[in-house]
Amino acid sequence: MSKRVLTGRHFMMGDVACAEGALAAGCTFFAGYPITPSTEIAERLARRLPEVGGHYIQMEDELASMAAIIGASWAGAKAMTATSGPGFSLMMENIGLAVMMETPCVVVDIQRGSPSTGLPTLTGQSDVMQAKWGSHGDYEIIAYAPASCQEMFDLTIRAFNMAERFRNPVLIMADEVVGHMTERVVIPPEEAIERWERPRPMVPPGEHFLPFAAGEDLVPPMPRAGEGYRIYVESLTHDERGYPVMSPEVHDRLVRRLNEKIRRAYDQIIDYELSEVEDAEIIVISYGSTARSARQAARIARKEGMRVGTLRLITLWPFPGRVVEELSARIRAFVVAELNLGQMAREVERFTDRPVFRANHAGGMMMPPELILASIEEAYRDAKGSRRQYASIR
Protein backbone atom coordinates (compact mmCIF):
# COMPACT_ATOMS: atom_id res chain seq x y z
CA MET A 1 0.00 0.00 0.00
CA SER A 2 1.23 3.47 -0.84
CA LYS A 3 1.80 6.15 1.72
CA ARG A 4 -0.96 8.53 2.69
CA VAL A 5 1.49 11.36 3.41
CA LEU A 6 4.25 11.89 0.84
CA THR A 7 6.77 13.39 3.25
CA GLY A 8 9.56 15.17 1.42
CA ARG A 9 10.48 18.02 -0.89
CA HIS A 10 8.59 18.05 -4.14
CA PHE A 11 8.23 20.14 -7.26
CA MET A 12 4.48 19.92 -7.45
CA MET A 13 1.57 21.44 -9.35
CA GLY A 14 -0.89 23.38 -7.18
CA ASP A 15 -3.83 21.12 -7.97
CA VAL A 16 -1.77 18.06 -7.09
CA ALA A 17 -0.61 19.70 -3.86
CA CYS A 18 -4.28 20.30 -3.00
CA ALA A 19 -5.03 16.60 -3.51
CA GLU A 20 -2.02 15.63 -1.39
CA GLY A 21 -3.12 18.09 1.30
CA ALA A 22 -6.51 16.39 1.38
CA LEU A 23 -4.86 12.99 1.82
CA ALA A 24 -2.58 14.34 4.54
CA ALA A 25 -5.62 15.77 6.33
CA GLY A 26 -7.23 12.34 6.38
CA CYS A 27 -9.62 12.63 3.42
CA THR A 28 -11.05 9.21 2.56
CA PHE A 29 -13.74 10.17 0.07
CA PHE A 30 -13.86 12.30 -3.07
CA ALA A 31 -16.86 12.68 -5.35
CA GLY A 32 -16.59 14.97 -8.32
CA TYR A 33 -17.22 15.84 -11.91
CA PRO A 34 -13.86 16.81 -13.39
CA ILE A 35 -13.69 20.30 -14.87
CA THR A 36 -10.79 22.45 -16.05
CA PRO A 37 -8.80 23.86 -14.30
CA SER A 38 -9.49 21.59 -11.31
CA THR A 39 -9.24 18.27 -13.17
CA GLU A 40 -5.78 17.39 -11.86
CA ILE A 41 -7.20 17.22 -8.33
CA ALA A 42 -9.74 14.57 -9.37
CA GLU A 43 -7.14 12.78 -11.48
CA ARG A 44 -4.66 12.61 -8.62
CA LEU A 45 -7.23 11.45 -6.08
CA ALA A 46 -8.70 8.89 -8.49
CA ARG A 47 -5.30 7.22 -8.40
CA ARG A 48 -4.23 7.97 -4.84
CA LEU A 49 -7.39 7.41 -2.79
CA PRO A 50 -7.79 3.72 -3.67
CA GLU A 51 -4.08 3.24 -2.89
CA VAL A 52 -4.65 4.33 0.70
CA GLY A 53 -7.99 2.62 1.28
CA GLY A 54 -10.20 5.56 0.34
CA HIS A 55 -12.86 6.00 -2.29
CA TYR A 56 -13.13 8.09 -5.44
CA ILE A 57 -16.41 8.40 -7.29
CA GLN A 58 -16.93 10.23 -10.54
CA MET A 59 -20.49 11.51 -10.32
CA GLU A 60 -22.96 12.43 -13.05
CA ASP A 61 -22.76 16.13 -12.23
CA GLU A 62 -21.85 18.65 -9.55
CA LEU A 63 -25.22 18.53 -7.79
CA ALA A 64 -24.69 14.86 -7.17
CA SER A 65 -21.02 15.37 -6.27
CA MET A 66 -21.95 17.76 -3.49
CA ALA A 67 -24.75 15.48 -2.28
CA ALA A 68 -22.38 12.50 -2.24
CA ILE A 69 -19.79 14.18 -0.05
CA ILE A 70 -22.52 15.21 2.41
CA GLY A 71 -23.66 11.59 2.62
CA ALA A 72 -20.09 10.34 2.97
CA SER A 73 -19.45 12.83 5.76
CA TRP A 74 -22.49 11.57 7.68
CA ALA A 75 -21.08 8.07 7.27
CA GLY A 76 -17.96 9.33 9.07
CA ALA A 77 -15.66 10.13 6.16
CA LYS A 78 -13.62 13.25 5.66
CA ALA A 79 -14.96 14.18 2.26
CA MET A 80 -14.09 16.62 -0.51
CA THR A 81 -15.08 17.70 -4.00
CA ALA A 82 -13.34 20.01 -6.47
CA THR A 83 -14.70 22.07 -9.30
CA SER A 84 -14.58 25.38 -11.16
CA GLY A 85 -17.11 28.19 -11.65
CA PRO A 86 -19.79 26.38 -13.69
CA GLY A 87 -19.75 23.42 -11.30
CA PHE A 88 -19.56 25.69 -8.26
CA SER A 89 -22.87 27.26 -9.35
CA LEU A 90 -24.46 23.81 -9.48
CA MET A 91 -23.19 23.01 -5.98
CA MET A 92 -24.81 26.02 -4.35
CA GLU A 93 -28.06 24.37 -3.31
CA ASN A 94 -26.33 21.49 -1.58
CA ILE A 95 -23.72 23.73 0.04
CA GLY A 96 -26.70 25.29 1.82
CA LEU A 97 -27.86 21.79 2.72
CA ALA A 98 -24.46 21.03 4.25
CA VAL A 99 -24.65 24.27 6.26
CA MET A 100 -28.16 23.47 7.51
CA MET A 101 -27.30 19.87 8.40
CA GLU A 102 -23.96 20.98 9.89
CA THR A 103 -21.99 18.61 7.71
CA PRO A 104 -18.18 18.91 7.62
CA CYS A 105 -16.91 18.89 4.03
CA VAL A 106 -14.42 20.67 1.79
CA VAL A 107 -15.24 22.23 -1.57
CA VAL A 108 -12.41 23.38 -3.82
CA ASP A 109 -13.10 25.95 -6.53
CA ILE A 110 -10.22 26.51 -8.95
CA GLN A 111 -11.59 29.69 -10.45
CA ARG A 112 -11.46 30.45 -14.16
CA GLY A 113 -12.78 33.22 -16.40
CA SER A 114 -16.53 33.65 -15.82
CA PRO A 115 -19.58 34.15 -16.12
CA SER A 116 -20.90 30.86 -17.51
CA THR A 117 -18.33 28.57 -19.11
CA GLY A 118 -16.26 31.69 -19.84
CA LEU A 119 -12.59 30.89 -20.21
CA PRO A 120 -12.12 27.22 -19.27
CA THR A 121 -8.33 27.17 -19.27
CA LEU A 122 -7.64 30.70 -18.05
CA THR A 123 -7.68 32.26 -14.64
CA GLY A 124 -10.21 34.41 -12.78
CA GLN A 125 -11.32 35.37 -9.25
CA SER A 126 -14.93 36.21 -9.87
CA ASP A 127 -16.56 33.53 -7.69
CA VAL A 128 -15.50 35.06 -4.37
CA MET A 129 -18.82 36.75 -3.61
CA GLN A 130 -20.73 33.68 -4.75
CA ALA A 131 -18.70 31.77 -2.17
CA LYS A 132 -20.36 33.84 0.53
CA TRP A 133 -23.79 34.49 -0.90
CA GLY A 134 -24.40 31.81 -3.54
CA SER A 135 -26.74 29.57 -1.60
CA HIS A 136 -30.01 30.92 -0.29
CA GLY A 137 -30.50 31.97 3.27
CA ASP A 138 -28.43 33.55 6.03
CA TYR A 139 -25.33 31.51 6.59
CA GLU A 140 -21.65 31.81 7.38
CA ILE A 141 -19.04 30.03 5.35
CA ILE A 142 -15.29 29.61 5.78
CA ALA A 143 -13.18 30.23 2.67
CA TYR A 144 -9.44 30.31 2.07
CA ALA A 145 -7.50 31.72 -0.89
CA PRO A 146 -4.13 30.01 -1.48
CA ALA A 147 -1.43 32.02 -3.26
CA SER A 148 1.19 29.31 -3.78
CA CYS A 149 1.49 25.58 -4.33
CA GLN A 150 2.67 25.19 -0.73
CA GLU A 151 -0.51 26.91 0.43
CA MET A 152 -2.59 24.64 -1.78
CA PHE A 153 -1.25 21.86 0.41
CA ASP A 154 -1.31 23.67 3.77
CA LEU A 155 -4.68 25.37 3.43
CA THR A 156 -6.39 22.21 2.23
CA ILE A 157 -5.34 20.57 5.49
CA ARG A 158 -6.59 23.59 7.40
CA ALA A 159 -9.87 23.50 5.47
CA PHE A 160 -10.48 19.92 6.58
CA ASN A 161 -9.64 20.79 10.17
CA MET A 162 -11.94 23.80 10.21
CA ALA A 163 -14.74 21.81 8.58
CA GLU A 164 -14.46 19.19 11.31
CA ARG A 165 -14.08 21.73 14.10
CA PHE A 166 -17.14 23.78 13.17
CA ARG A 167 -19.21 21.20 11.30
CA ASN A 168 -19.49 23.44 8.29
CA PRO A 169 -18.54 23.36 4.62
CA VAL A 170 -15.14 25.00 4.05
CA LEU A 171 -14.16 26.38 0.67
CA ILE A 172 -10.78 26.61 -1.03
CA MET A 173 -11.18 29.55 -3.42
CA ALA A 174 -8.05 29.12 -5.54
CA ASP A 175 -7.50 30.34 -9.08
CA GLU A 176 -6.17 28.74 -12.24
CA VAL A 177 -2.72 30.31 -11.88
CA VAL A 178 -2.14 28.75 -8.48
CA GLY A 179 -3.87 25.52 -9.51
CA HIS A 180 -1.75 24.97 -12.60
CA MET A 181 1.53 26.46 -11.47
CA THR A 182 4.32 24.17 -10.24
CA GLU A 183 6.54 25.10 -7.28
CA ARG A 184 8.40 23.53 -4.41
CA VAL A 185 6.06 21.91 -1.91
CA VAL A 186 7.45 20.61 1.37
CA ILE A 187 5.34 17.86 2.90
CA PRO A 188 6.12 17.33 6.59
CA PRO A 189 6.32 13.95 8.35
CA GLU A 190 2.91 12.45 9.01
CA GLU A 191 3.23 12.87 12.79
CA ALA A 192 3.83 16.61 12.35
CA ILE A 193 0.52 17.11 10.55
CA GLU A 194 -2.24 18.38 12.76
CA ARG A 195 -5.55 16.58 12.20
CA TRP A 196 -8.70 17.71 13.93
CA GLU A 197 -11.72 15.50 14.34
CA ARG A 198 -15.38 16.49 14.61
CA PRO A 199 -16.90 16.60 18.09
CA ARG A 200 -18.37 13.20 18.96
CA PRO A 201 -21.32 12.19 21.20
CA MET A 202 -20.41 11.69 24.85
CA VAL A 203 -23.03 8.98 25.39
CA PRO A 204 -23.05 5.53 23.78
CA PRO A 205 -25.60 4.63 21.09
CA GLY A 206 -29.02 3.77 22.46
CA GLU A 207 -28.99 6.30 25.27
CA HIS A 208 -30.90 9.53 25.17
CA PHE A 209 -29.03 11.84 22.79
CA LEU A 210 -29.93 15.14 21.16
CA PRO A 211 -27.98 15.39 17.89
CA PHE A 212 -28.46 19.15 17.47
CA ALA A 213 -27.97 20.26 21.06
CA ALA A 214 -24.83 22.39 21.19
CA GLY A 215 -22.68 23.40 24.13
CA GLU A 216 -20.63 26.56 24.73
CA ASP A 217 -18.98 26.54 21.31
CA LEU A 218 -22.38 26.14 19.59
CA VAL A 219 -21.12 23.09 17.65
CA PRO A 220 -23.15 19.96 18.45
CA PRO A 221 -21.46 16.56 18.62
CA MET A 222 -21.87 14.51 15.46
CA PRO A 223 -22.77 10.84 15.41
CA ARG A 224 -22.08 8.62 12.43
CA ALA A 225 -24.86 7.02 10.41
CA GLY A 226 -24.99 3.33 11.24
CA GLU A 227 -23.45 3.61 14.69
CA GLY A 228 -26.77 3.00 16.42
CA TYR A 229 -27.76 6.52 17.40
CA ARG A 230 -31.39 7.10 16.53
CA ILE A 231 -31.05 10.36 14.71
CA TYR A 232 -32.94 12.33 12.15
CA VAL A 233 -31.05 14.69 9.86
CA GLU A 234 -33.13 17.25 8.09
CA SER A 235 -32.88 20.25 5.75
CA LEU A 236 -36.05 21.77 7.16
CA THR A 237 -35.78 23.96 10.22
CA HIS A 238 -35.29 21.52 13.08
CA ASP A 239 -35.14 21.43 16.85
CA GLU A 240 -32.43 19.86 18.99
CA ARG A 241 -33.79 16.40 18.28
CA GLY A 242 -33.41 17.10 14.57
CA TYR A 243 -37.16 16.99 13.99
CA PRO A 244 -38.73 19.54 11.64
CA VAL A 245 -40.47 22.35 13.50
CA MET A 246 -42.40 25.12 11.76
CA SER A 247 -41.88 27.70 14.45
CA PRO A 248 -40.44 31.21 14.09
CA GLU A 249 -38.73 30.92 17.48
CA VAL A 250 -36.98 27.65 16.67
CA HIS A 251 -36.04 28.96 13.23
CA ASP A 252 -34.53 32.16 14.57
CA ARG A 253 -32.64 30.26 17.25
CA LEU A 254 -31.25 27.70 14.78
CA VAL A 255 -30.20 30.17 12.10
CA ARG A 256 -28.58 32.45 14.68
CA ARG A 257 -26.63 29.53 16.13
CA LEU A 258 -25.45 28.36 12.69
CA ASN A 259 -24.08 31.85 12.02
CA GLU A 260 -22.82 32.53 15.50
CA LYS A 261 -20.70 29.38 15.77
CA ILE A 262 -18.56 30.70 12.91
CA ARG A 263 -18.61 34.41 13.84
CA ARG A 264 -17.62 33.68 17.40
CA ALA A 265 -14.55 31.76 16.20
CA TYR A 266 -13.28 34.70 14.09
CA ASP A 267 -9.82 34.66 15.70
CA GLN A 268 -9.37 30.94 15.09
CA ILE A 269 -10.42 31.15 11.47
CA ILE A 270 -8.96 34.44 10.24
CA ASP A 271 -5.53 34.45 8.65
CA TYR A 272 -3.77 37.15 6.65
CA GLU A 273 -0.29 38.37 5.83
CA LEU A 274 0.95 41.94 6.25
CA SER A 275 4.08 43.23 4.60
CA GLU A 276 5.80 46.61 4.94
CA VAL A 277 2.79 48.29 6.51
CA GLU A 278 4.73 50.10 9.27
CA ASP A 279 5.29 53.31 7.34
CA ALA A 280 2.81 52.67 4.54
CA GLU A 281 0.57 55.40 3.20
CA ILE A 282 -1.13 53.09 0.72
CA ILE A 283 -1.94 49.45 1.38
CA VAL A 284 -2.71 47.05 -1.42
CA ILE A 285 -5.22 44.37 -0.48
CA SER A 286 -5.32 41.24 -2.60
CA TYR A 287 -5.57 37.46 -2.43
CA GLY A 288 -4.69 34.31 -4.37
CA SER A 289 -2.36 34.66 -7.35
CA THR A 290 -3.11 38.39 -7.52
CA ALA A 291 -1.29 38.80 -4.19
CA ARG A 292 1.90 37.74 -5.98
CA SER A 293 1.40 40.51 -8.54
CA ALA A 294 0.65 42.92 -5.68
CA ARG A 295 3.95 42.10 -3.98
CA GLN A 296 5.78 42.80 -7.22
CA ALA A 297 3.85 46.06 -7.72
CA ALA A 298 4.53 47.17 -4.13
CA ARG A 299 8.23 46.46 -4.58
CA ILE A 300 8.38 48.61 -7.72
CA ALA A 301 6.38 51.36 -6.00
CA ARG A 302 8.81 51.38 -3.07
CA LYS A 303 11.72 51.76 -5.49
CA GLU A 304 9.93 54.76 -6.96
CA GLY A 305 9.70 56.28 -3.51
CA MET A 306 6.09 55.49 -2.66
CA ARG A 307 5.40 54.07 0.77
CA VAL A 308 3.30 51.05 -0.05
CA GLY A 309 2.47 47.99 2.04
CA THR A 310 0.41 44.91 1.33
CA LEU A 311 -2.33 42.97 3.05
CA ARG A 312 -2.82 39.48 1.65
CA LEU A 313 -6.11 37.90 2.61
CA ILE A 314 -5.62 34.21 3.33
CA THR A 315 -9.10 33.88 4.81
CA LEU A 316 -11.70 35.44 2.52
CA TRP A 317 -14.75 34.44 4.59
CA PRO A 318 -15.46 35.37 7.29
CA PHE A 319 -14.01 38.62 5.93
CA PRO A 320 -11.00 39.83 7.97
CA GLY A 321 -12.69 43.18 8.54
CA ARG A 322 -10.95 43.96 11.82
CA VAL A 323 -7.51 44.18 10.26
CA VAL A 324 -8.87 46.53 7.60
CA GLU A 325 -10.36 48.64 10.39
CA GLU A 326 -7.09 48.71 12.30
CA LEU A 327 -5.03 49.64 9.25
CA SER A 328 -7.48 52.36 8.24
CA ALA A 329 -6.47 54.60 11.10
CA ARG A 330 -2.96 55.06 9.80
CA ILE A 331 -3.05 55.11 6.02
CA ARG A 332 -4.26 57.38 3.25
CA ALA A 333 -5.99 54.83 1.05
CA PHE A 334 -6.41 51.20 0.11
CA VAL A 335 -5.99 49.67 -3.31
CA VAL A 336 -7.94 46.43 -3.76
CA ALA A 337 -6.55 44.31 -6.56
CA GLU A 338 -8.57 41.35 -7.83
CA LEU A 339 -9.28 39.47 -11.05
CA ASN A 340 -12.91 40.53 -11.17
CA LEU A 341 -14.64 43.85 -11.55
CA GLY A 342 -14.48 44.72 -7.85
CA GLN A 343 -16.02 42.15 -5.49
CA MET A 344 -13.98 42.09 -2.27
CA ALA A 345 -13.41 45.84 -2.70
CA ARG A 346 -17.00 46.36 -1.54
CA GLU A 347 -16.35 44.31 1.53
CA VAL A 348 -13.25 46.40 2.28
CA GLU A 349 -15.36 49.55 2.02
CA ARG A 350 -17.62 48.30 4.79
CA PHE A 351 -14.70 48.44 7.22
CA THR A 352 -12.96 51.68 6.35
CA ASP A 353 -13.56 55.37 5.97
CA ARG A 354 -10.49 55.69 3.78
CA PRO A 355 -10.80 55.84 -0.02
CA VAL A 356 -10.74 52.43 -1.69
CA PHE A 357 -9.12 52.41 -5.13
CA ARG A 358 -9.49 49.44 -7.39
CA ALA A 359 -7.24 47.44 -9.68
CA ASN A 360 -9.44 45.11 -11.67
CA HIS A 361 -9.32 42.86 -14.68
CA ALA A 362 -12.10 40.47 -15.67
CA GLY A 363 -9.65 37.57 -15.91
CA GLY A 364 -7.99 35.40 -18.52
CA MET A 365 -4.49 36.29 -17.35
CA MET A 366 -2.64 36.71 -14.11
CA MET A 367 -3.04 40.26 -12.78
CA PRO A 368 -0.30 42.34 -14.42
CA PRO A 369 1.71 44.15 -11.70
CA GLU A 370 1.63 47.31 -13.89
CA LEU A 371 -2.12 47.49 -13.52
CA ILE A 372 -1.83 47.50 -9.73
CA LEU A 373 1.02 50.00 -9.92
CA ALA A 374 -1.21 52.36 -11.90
CA SER A 375 -3.85 52.19 -9.16
CA ILE A 376 -1.21 52.77 -6.48
CA GLU A 377 -0.07 55.89 -8.36
CA GLU A 378 -3.66 57.05 -8.69
CA ALA A 379 -4.26 56.52 -4.97
CA TYR A 380 -1.06 58.36 -4.10
CA ARG A 381 -2.08 61.28 -6.28
CA ASP A 382 -5.76 61.49 -5.45
CA ALA A 383 -6.23 60.32 -1.88
CA LYS A 384 -6.74 63.56 0.01
CA GLY A 385 -6.27 64.27 3.65
CA SER A 386 -3.22 64.03 5.81
CA ARG A 387 -1.97 60.72 7.01
CA ARG A 388 -2.76 60.19 10.65
CA GLN A 389 -0.18 59.68 13.30
CA TYR A 390 1.64 56.37 13.19
CA ALA A 391 0.25 53.90 15.65
CA SER A 392 1.67 50.49 16.14
CA ILE A 393 -0.49 47.50 15.39
CA ARG A 394 -0.03 43.93 16.23
Partner 1 sequence: MRREVRISGFGGQGIILAGYILGKAAAVYDNKEATLVQSYGPEARGGAASAEVVIDEEPVDYPHIEAADILVLMSAEAYRTYGKSLRPGGTLIVEEDLVPLEEGQKAIKVPATRLAEELGRRIVANIVMLGALVAATGIVSKEAIVESVRTSVPPRTVDLNLRALERGYEYVKEKVRVL
Collapsing DSSP to helix, strand or coil, 116 comes out as coil
Crossing angle between the packed helical segments 369-382 and 289-303, to the nearest 10 degrees: 50
- Does residue 181 bind partner 1 (CB under 8 A)? yes
- Does residue 184 bind partner 1 (CB under 8 A)? yes
- Does residue 177 bind partner 1 (CB under 8 A)? yes
Q: Are 336 and 312 in contact (CB under 8 A)?
A: no
Interface positions, 280-309, toward partner 1 (CB under 8 A): 292-293, 295-296, 299
- Does residue 182 bind partner 1 (CB under 8 A)? yes
386 DSSP assignment: P
Q: Which of 80, 173, 231, 366 binds partner 1 (CB under 8 A)?
A: 366
- Does residue 89 bind partner 1 (CB under 8 A)? no
- Does residue 339 bind partner 1 (CB under 8 A)? no
Per-residue binder mask for partner 1 (CB under 8 A), 304-323, x = binder = --------------------
What are 79's strand-pairing partners? 29
Q: Which of 10, 78, 158, 238 binds partner 1 (CB under 8 A)?
A: 10
**For partner 1, which stretch binds (CB under 8 A), given 95-103, 163-171, 175-183, 240-248?**
175-183
Collapsing DSSP to helix, strand or coil, 159 comes out as helix
- When the beta carbons of 14 and 26 are compared against partner 1, the nearer one is 14
d(CA 196, CA 172) in angstroms, rounded, equals 18
**Distance in Å, CB of 13 to partner 1, minimum:** 8
Long-range pairs for 354-361: beta carbons < 8 A, 24 or more residues apart:
354/328, 354/383, 355/379, 355/382, 355/383, 357/333, 357/382, 357/383, 359/284, 359/335
**For partner 1, which stretch binds (CB under 8 A), given 6-14, 64-72, 159-167, 320-328?**
6-14
**For partner 1, which stretch binds (CB under 8 A), given 5-13, 193-201, 267-275, 336-344?**
5-13
Write out the residues near partner 1 by the rule CB under 8 A: 9-11, 177, 180-184, 292-293, 295-296, 299, 366, 369
